[in-house]
Amino acid sequence: MPTSYRNKRWRLVFLAVPLAWGFTEFKSLDVLPYWGFYGHRLINRMAVYTLPDEMFPLFKQEIDYITEHAVDPDKRRYAAIGEAGRHYIDLDRWGRSPFPDLPRDWTLAFLAKNPVRLLNVQKEDLGYYSSVDSFLIDFPQWELFLKDEVRSHLSDEVWTLDQWPDTLHLEGVSLVQIDNELMAHGVVPYFIPVQYNRLVHAFLDNDPKQVLRLAADLGHYVADAHVPLHATMNYNGQMTDQVGIHAFWESRIPELFAESQYDFLVGKADYIRDVKKFAWNVVMESNALVDSVLLIEKRLSQELPEDEQYCFEERLNQVVRLPCASYAAKYQQTMAGMVERRMQQSILAVGSIWFSAWVDAGQPDLRNYLTINWNARDKEAEELLEKAFRGGKVLGRPHE
Ligand SMILES: [Zn+2]
């Protein structure tokens, strides 16, 4: 990291206004959001205040954009197949920490986990397959085929998950059908570096709108990776009779306590040398917290009568059943402030990843970006996404 960014005094954050804003938004948007909309907006917003002087004016000018669009990836889960898997990873599906069999490299993970059916491939085309319309291939064959025939024809963008296909096409011909098990079990640590590279390129292209879009999105994925229940198969307590714990941890607790209790003075963005390693570290830390998240709640739920666990509250003229504030306080306290800590770490991580992308792009002068004109086409794209979100059904796992 450039030394000029090392010991600078970090910026003072004035919390009252953005927090008040965050709460009004939350209530008008979603009764039971899932970090929830509230948390994601808050994290992206606070991350702006970690940025160095060269980046701060642009992000401060566009802070409402960065805040509001922190939740686009969650809205896209209603619009795009393949979006859902970018928000989590079922790490425990690979055994126990430190998951020695889990490939950190996308191609190797893909090879290990996806049964593949070849379509319309002739022996003479490839040299080592017989001539049939469709057949399953085993791992060594697939590896050879992938390396020799497929990989070299695909751009990194396609290969690394963008619009991830069920079928791979090569020169207009459907070649490979994929039972995409890997995607279904989540790809967040594989996807963060992909999105990061896109952000670096947006800076290199001097494309301010794209920079802000990608920065807002990337903030979302980085924050999701910090949530313990985004790093386990038991993501909503469904395997341990704790259904609802996902929203309890990441929405209800921040909603109740962030404004009044949390300290968001997290320091200054730092340069991340290796984004891939960083993304993996974050999900590994999240996974290591899963046992506490589940076991502590389980114990409390067994110690306390049910009427001290669930309360009824009125939201948008509806009475909803929610974990009681006193129960949430007890849970939070017994977890020794884990929710606050993960939120603080998310804020610093989001600021740091934005900052690193800018550094890796050669620190372009962002004063040239300040005359952004969001136009009718941008508005239209937003409205389309909003429509899909309001009217739709999640394509994939409902609780990330
Ligand atoms: Zn998400």
**Ligand 1 center to residue 220 CA distance, Å?**
6
Q: Inform me whether the pLDDT recorded for 398 exceeds 80.
A: no
Closest by Cα among 358, 394, 389 to 53: 358
Spatial CA neighbour of 11 closest among 197, 216, 206, 267: 267
Distance 92 CA to ligand 1 centre (A): 19
* Ligand 1 centroid distance, CA of 247 (Å): 12
Statement: residue 41 has pLDDT above 90: yes
Tokens of 241: 């009779």
Question: Ligand 1 centroid to 377 CA: how many Å?
Answer: 25
Bridge partners (DSSP) listed for residue 319: 314
pLDDT band at 395 (very low <50, low <70, confident <90, very high): confident
Residue 134 CA, ligand 1 centroid: distance in Å:
36
114 pLDDT higher than 90: no
pLDDT, residue 316, reads 80
Q: What is residue 54's DSSP assignment? A: T
pLDDT of 305: 95
**Alpha carbon of 76 to ligand 1 centroid (Å):** 10
Distance 305 CA to ligand 1 centre (A): 32
Kindly give the distance from the C-alpha atom of residue 328 to the centroid of ligand 1, in angstroms, as a whole number.
22
Residue 117 pLDDT level (bands cut at 50, 70, 90): low
Distance 87 CA to ligand 1 centre (A): 5
Domains of the chain: which residue ranges?
3-95+186-391, 115-179
Conformational region of residue 23, where left means phi above 0, alpha means psi within -120 to 50, and beta covers everything else: alpha
What separation in Å is there between the alpha carbon of 89 and the centre of ligand 1?
Answer: 12
Rounded to the nearest whole angstrom, what is the distance from the C-alpha of residue 350 to the centroid of ligand 1? Answer: 14
Distance (Å) from CA 365 to ligand 1 centroid: 31
Whole-number pLDDT of residue 31: 37
The 10s digit of each residue's pLDDT in 252-281 is 999 999 989 999 999 999 999 999 999 999
Contact 245, 30 (CB under 8 A): no
**26 C-alpha to ligand 1 centroid (Å):** 16
> According to the model, what pLDDT value does residue 109 have?
75
Give strand ranges (E) for 171-297. Answer: 173-178
Query: Residue 30: which pLDDT band, with cuts at 50, 70 and 90?
Result: very low
- Given a cut of 50, is residue 35 above it in pLDDT? yes
Q: 222 CA to middle of ligand 1, Å?
A: 9
Residue 183 is predicted with a pLDDT of 76
CA of 230 to the centre of ligand 1 (A): 9
**Strand positions, DSSP E, 87-192:** 116-121, 132-137, 167-170, 173-178
Amino acid at the residue 235: Y
Give the class (CATH, top level) of 3-95+186-391: mainly alpha
C-alpha atoms less than 13 angstroms from C-alpha of 129 in its C-beta half-sphere: 22
The pLDDT of residue 155 is 46
| pLDDT tens string 345-379 | 999 999 999 999 999 999 999 998 999 989 999 99
From the CA of 224, how far away is ligand 1's center (Å)?
6
Q: How far is the CA of 346 from the centre of ligand 1 (A)?
A: 13
